[in-house]
């Protein structure tokens, strides 16, 4: 007679084996690139169908346009009827950066079990987990980019593969690598060894830059709302269908980050150009013939702007001062380190804003439209000065308050110490008894 015996349940003591780092990081990079690309391919097919209901061409033509838009967001540039267009739609770049951050964070979380632990890293053991993951992440992203550029290239359009790889490298260095380091927990370990004043300065730089970008975007939206009638007139001149109007609105929205950086350059004073021999600044507005692009309706009228426009130039330094004060007031730092963190953070924010302004311009067409964008050297000087001085003023006010608190605390401690010494001194009085 046969008896069936069940195997007793035993607790599994061995740890789960981590997934291969090479596979995780490479696939993560490829998926980060493929996500926005697939969305743009679908949008291209929808645009092809909406434009002429499929009467001309084939769906692959719409997919090709979506691929070219994705490449343009990575700095590839386009050739339209023999004219080179190099301006980058930063809206697509922002979506690609968001996708890279999300996937990079997940990759970092997945590879966190590789390499030495926190104690061994603190003891100085070399850890190449994050650099290896970043390199593989870049490789996966670059493969998708090169394949897309190769398949989308044609006789009339010639995307630049080196520029795409260059922008991919920049995105990986400034978005993908921090995401992987944060997700893996290495960023927290490394940050623990950074001086507190440096961390405070980085916080000031990020806060000042983000607030300036938000204010610049609000300025663009307000200008568009005021000039909504002109923008609608521009669109009506093209006689689009409702579907084409929606696609045209999306195309304009992709350049809103560019317009925001143009507005930031205007707030700083130097302004920007919309074609050769033009200037748009708080001091003067000189324009020539413009293309029919509704986003350009937000431009101010030609001539000398009103006086309040020049007063808006005070906004960047005032904003930097307020942001620096609010960011540093919760930091436990001495007064001199507060001033140093505020000034350094403001300078870095101004430098970063100038770099973004340089990336926002380029050639937008033939002839005079080859020169579109901020005046970068002037923007660099004004941004560094405005943000640096403003953040220094805000931090200086906090430093003075903190120094006063330190002096009062030192005086109170000295008074307590003197009181304790007096209490410990022996008494000189002679006791008086009944015999005296």
| Domain boundary assignment for the chain | 18-193, 195-421
In tens digits, what is the pLDDT along the chain, a chain of 436 residues?
444 444 545 444 444 566 788 899 999 999 999 999 999 999 888 887 777 655 566 778 888 889 999 999 999 988 777 788 899 999 999 999 999 999 999 999 998 877 665 556 555 567 788 899 999 999 999 999 999 999 888 766 778 899 999 999 999 999 999 999 999 888 888 888 889 889 999 999 999 999 999 999 999 999 999 988 888 888 888 788 787 788 888 888 999 999 999 999 999 999 999 988 899 999 999 998 888 888 888 899 888 888 888 899 999 999 999 999 999 988 888 888 898 999 999 999 999 999 999 999 998 888 888 899 999 999 999 999 999 999 999 998 888 887 766 666 666 666 666 676 677 666 555 555 554 4
Nearest to 373 by CA among 233, 276, 291: 276
* Residue 212 to residue 404: CA distance in whole angstroms: 31
What is residue 189's predicted lDDT score, i.e. its pLDDT? 80
3-state secondary structure string across the chain:
CCCCCCCCCCCCCCCCCCCCHHHHHHHHHHHHHHHHHHHHHHHHHHHHHHHHCCCCCCHHHHHHHHHHHHHHCCCCCEEECCEEECCCCHHHHHHHHHHHHHHHHHHHHHCCCCCCCHHHHHCCCCCCHHHHHHHHHHHHHHHHHHHHHHHHCCCCCCCCHHHHHHHHHHHHHHHHHHHHHHHHCHHHHHHHCCCHHHHHHHHHHHHHHHHHHHHHHHHHHHHHHHCHHHHHHHHHHCCCCHHHHHHHHHHHHCCHHHHHHHHHHHHHCCCEEECCCCEECCCCEECCCCCCCHHHHHCCCCECCCHHHHHHHHHHHHHHHHHHHHHHCCCCCCHHHHHHHHHHHHHHHHHHHHHHHHHHCECCCCHHHHCEEECHHHHHHHHHHHHHHHHHHHHHHHHHHHHHHHHHHHHHHHHHHHHHHHHHCCCCCCCCCCCC
At 1 the pLDDT is 40
| pLDDT score, position 128 | 81
**How many Å apart are CA 250 and CA 244, to the nearest integer?**
10
What is the reported pLDDT for 184?
87
Per-residue confidence (pLDDT) for residue 345, from 0 to 100: 94
The per-residue b/e assignment along 361-397, b for 16 or more CB within 10 angstroms, e otherwise, is bbbbeeebbbbbbbbbebbbebbbbbbbbbbbbbbbb
CA 306 vs. chain centroid, Å, equals: 32
Distance between start and end Cα atoms, the chain: 116
């Amino acid at each position: 007679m046969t008896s069936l015996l069940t195997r007793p349940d035993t607790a599994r003591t061995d740890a789960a084996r981590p997934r291969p780092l090479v596979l995780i990081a490479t696939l993560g990079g490829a998926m980060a690139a493929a996500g926005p690309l697939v969305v743009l391919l679908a949008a291209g097919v929808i645009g092809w169908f909406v434009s002429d209901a499929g009467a001309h061409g084939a769906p692959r033509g719409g997919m090709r346009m979506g691929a070219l838009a994705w490449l343009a967001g990575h700095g590839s540039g386009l050739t339209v009827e023999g004219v080179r267009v190099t301006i980058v739609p930063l809206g697509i770049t922002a979506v690609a950066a968001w996708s890279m951050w999300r996937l990079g964070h997940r990759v970092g979380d997945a590879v966190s079990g590789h390499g030495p632990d926190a104690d061994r890293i603190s003891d100085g053991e070399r850890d190449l987990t994050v650099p290896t993951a970043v390199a593989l992440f870049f490789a996966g992203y670059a493969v998708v980019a090169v394949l897309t550029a190769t398949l989308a290239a044609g006789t009339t359009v010639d995307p630049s593969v080196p520029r795409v790889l260059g922008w991919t490298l920049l995105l990986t260095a400034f978005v993908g690598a921090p995401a992987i380091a944060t997700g893996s927990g290495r960023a927290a370990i490394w940050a623990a060894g950074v001086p507190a004043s440096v961390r405070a300065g980085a916080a000031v730089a990020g806060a000042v830059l983000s607030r300036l970008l938000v204010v610049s975007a609000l300025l663009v939206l307000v200008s568009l709302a005021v000039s909504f009638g002109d923008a609608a007139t521009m669109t009506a001149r093209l006689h689009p269908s409702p579907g084409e109007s929606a696609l045209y609105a999306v195309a304009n929205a992709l350049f809103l980050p560019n317009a925001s950086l143009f507005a930031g350059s205007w707030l700083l004073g130097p302004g920007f150009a919309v074609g050769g021999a033009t200037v748009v600044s708080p001091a003067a507005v000189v324009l020539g013939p413009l293309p029919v692009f509704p986003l350009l309706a937000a431009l101010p009228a030609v001539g000398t702007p009103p006086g309040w426009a020049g007063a808006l130039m005070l906004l960047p330094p005032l904003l930097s001062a307020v942001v620096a004060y609010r960011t540093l007031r919760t930091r436990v730092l001495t007064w001199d380190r507060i001033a140093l963190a505020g000034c350094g953070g403001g300078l870095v924010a101004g430098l970063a804003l100038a770099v973004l302004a340089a990336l926002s311009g380029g050639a937008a067409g033939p002839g005079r439209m080859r020169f579109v964008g901020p005046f970068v050297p002037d923007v660099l000087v004004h941004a560094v000065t405005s943000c640096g001085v403003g953040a220094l003023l805000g931090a200086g006010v906090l430093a003075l308050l903190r120094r006063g608190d330190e002096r009062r605390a030192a005086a109170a401690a000295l008074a307590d110490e003197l009181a304790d010494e007096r209490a410990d001194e022996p008494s000189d009085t002679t006791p008086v008894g009944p015999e005296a």
